[in-house]
Amino acid sequence: MFLLRQPSPEAIRQFIFSQHELPFSYPEVAATAGELPSGYIVDRNRIELGKGEQVYDGAVAALQSWKQFDLGWVRMVPPETPIEVGAVVAILTRHFGFWSLNACRVVYLINEEGAVKKFGFAYGTLSSHVERGEERFTIEWRGTDDTVWYDILAFSRPNHFLVKLAYPLARMLQKRFARDSLAAMARPR
């Protein structure tokens, strides 16, 4: 949804409520957990956050609080939404002098122990979203070298005619989001 001004908290609440029953905008739900589908742009972005359990715990807490979206020009609403399968959230973005509000639903969670300890989740776009696809966010703590990593994996393609018309600008925003999200998660906690 494109808007000329920032929506009120009540308008955001109503928008999210209206999205709960919408289907995903793509058939390959949960594909970021396995083989990625063809016909989409794939983005992989990763940054080392530091070393050790304290860094891992801090990064997990940040991910659970949606800090990867605390970018100034992008934010997750409502930010207190727990990360659980089926949760619907909206991404509020200010760009090029207008606002957009797009809904996603959490598809699956990651909570793995072992040589690489992982925490994360993926969400998928709903049918009203201007893009179609899925994005996975993970925190990894590698036992072999004690490093902690933040990783974003996404596949997408346009789902709205304006995004198709301005696709180079949409790709620029996707790349900016990835860069800014990596920087936000790399901030000391």
Give the CATH number for residue 56.
3.30.530.20
Q: Which tens digit of pLDDT belongs to each residue from 143-179?
A: 999 999 999 999 998 877 776 777 878 888 999 999 9
Domain count, the chain: 1
C-alpha closest to that of 162 among 184, 124, 130: 130
* pLDDT mean over 109-123: 97
Q: By percentage, how much of the chain surpasses pLDDT 90?
A: 79
On the 0-12 / 13-18 / 19+ scale of CB atoms within 10 A, 108 is: middle
Q: Which tens digit of pLDDT belongs to each residue from 77-110?
A: 998 999 999 999 999 999 888 898 999 999 999 9
Q: Are 6 and 99 in contact (CB under 8 A)?
A: yes
- Structural domain for 65, as ranges: 2-186
Q: How many CB atoms lie within 10 A of CB 87?
A: 14
